[in-house]
Amino acid sequence: MGSQTQSNLSEFEPKELIANLLLMLKERDSTIVSKRFGLGGAEIETLEAIGKLHSLTRERVRQIEKDSINTLKKKKHSQLERALQLVFDTIIEHGGIISEDYLLQTVLINKSDRQENQAVKFLLNLGEQFRHLNESTEHYESWYLVGFDMKKLAAVDKKFEEILEQEKHAVTQDILFSRFRNTDYFKQHSMELNDKILKSYLNINKNIQINPFSEIGLKHWSEVNPRDVGDKAYLVLKHHKTPEHYSQITKMINDHKFDNRTAYQETVHNELIKDKRFVLVGRGIYALADWGYKKGVVADVIKEILKTMNRPLSRDEIISEVMKKRQVKRNTILVGLSNKKNFMKVGNNKYALVEEHKN
């Protein structure tokens, strides 16, 4: 952000400002506005609930709310005008539109709480230049400036989604933005779309989400929104990059808090056993099949190694290769190798498959 905007944000005190503004209203009107917008610690209440409390109709409460906001708009309060200008500058720097959550994070640096949040939301209702975008199936609740062209947001959203569909897996923000900058659309609008603006637009789009590993993908992808314990286990192992015991996999799932549902060791173990994406490589230790591991006992692994190498191997060579694919003891490998139905010694103390040697 611009250095001046950052400096002003450090001095931004919306809760204090709104408290001072409410003093300009009649006591009853101030109370009604506070209850409608949840200001000063008050709970947000409906028109009907407030009407009953003050013996007023819903319409009368609505009119008092509207009149109170108009009154504050006309006061030409210098602190209010500076605050509105600050919010305006912030939205401008984010491309003319920003999700409500992202706006609150941006303007309330290190001091966000419910009262400050509600004060900023009320502040937005006092600015003639701000418009509210309701939450929908496509977008999160957002605020935009008068004159903003929604077609621009739709065009950027479409390009992001097309890129992800082509990638077919979640990517980092850097990769996504790099792909976007190679599109014809960006080349035609490069002066209007910096990384800050792209990030702001991305935060509005409900179809694109981010996982706990800061990877961006389409919301229906399991690596973005894992559906079950198996998906979660796959995701944590993929980023852990090494085989791990199921108890530790359970801990990693819970540490990342995908959906705040607790995973239990027994459930995780049962899922790992039956899911083809995982391979048991040691006592309770699992790896991903994507890493080249295959299911089977140690003897099956030795067979696969001899077939792949297509030549007899020494005992040490076999042990070394098996240890790359299984976390087992040396003696376990030797026991598997001693099975004369499958393996036989040939040449200079090397081993080959019985079936291939006979052929």
Q: Is 158 helix (H, G, I), strand (E, B) or coil?
A: helix
pLDDT at residue number 319: 86
Q: If you average pLDDT over residues 223-247, what whole number do you get?
A: 94
Q: What share of the chain is helix, strand, coil (3-state, %, to 5)?
A: 60, 10, 30
pLDDT at 358 over 70: no
Can you tell me the mean pLDDT for 120-147? 95
pTM score of the predicted model: 0.77
Q: On the CB side of 99, how many CA atoms lie within 13 Å of its CA?
A: 18
The mean predicted confidence, pLDDT, of the chain is: 90
Return d(Cα 7, Cα 23) in angstroms, integer: 28
Residue type, 7: S
Confidence of residue 26 (pLDDT cuts 50, 70, 90): very high
Placement of tokens 């013996």 in the chain: 55
145/326: higher pLDDT: 145
pLDDT band at 5 (very low <50, low <70, confident <90, very high): low
Going along the chain from its start, the domains and CATH numbers come out as 3-145 (1.10.10.10), 152-218 (no CATH), 229-291 (1.10.10), 298-358 (1.10.10.10)
The one-letter amino acid at 161: E
Mean pLDDT value across residues 34-58? 93
Q: Rounded to the nearest 5 degrees, what angle is found at the Cα of 177, between the Cα atoms of 173 and 182?
A: 155
pLDDT range class, residue 6, cuts 50, 70, 90: low
User: Which pLDDT score is estimated for 298?
Assistant: 78
- Mean per-residue pLDDT, 277-298: 84
pLDDT for res 93: 94
Q: Alpha-carbon torsion 54, 60, 62, 67, what sign?
A: negative
pLDDT at 342: 83
The pLDDT assigned to 338 comes to 83
Name the band, by pLDDT with cuts 50, 70 and 90, for residue 3: low
pLDDT digits (tens, 9 = 90+) for 249-283: 999 999 998 888 999 999 999 999 999 999 888 88
Q: Which residue has the higher pLDDT, 115 or 332?
A: 115
C-alpha dist (Å) from residue 250 to 205, 223, 233, 276: 31, 17, 8, 18
Q: What pLDDT shows up at residue 159?
A: 97
Cβ atoms of 23 and 68 closer than 8 Å: no
Cβ 264 vs Cβ 219: under 8 Å: no
Amino acid letter for position 262: T
Q: What does the alpha-carbon distance between residue 131 and residue 134 come to, in Å, rounded to a whole number? A: 10
| E-state strands within the chain | 97-99, 130-133, 142-145, 171-172, 208-210, 215-218, 244-245, 278-282, 285-288, 313-314, 343-346, 350-353
Q: How confident is the model at residue 2 (pLDDT cuts 50, 70, 90)?
A: low
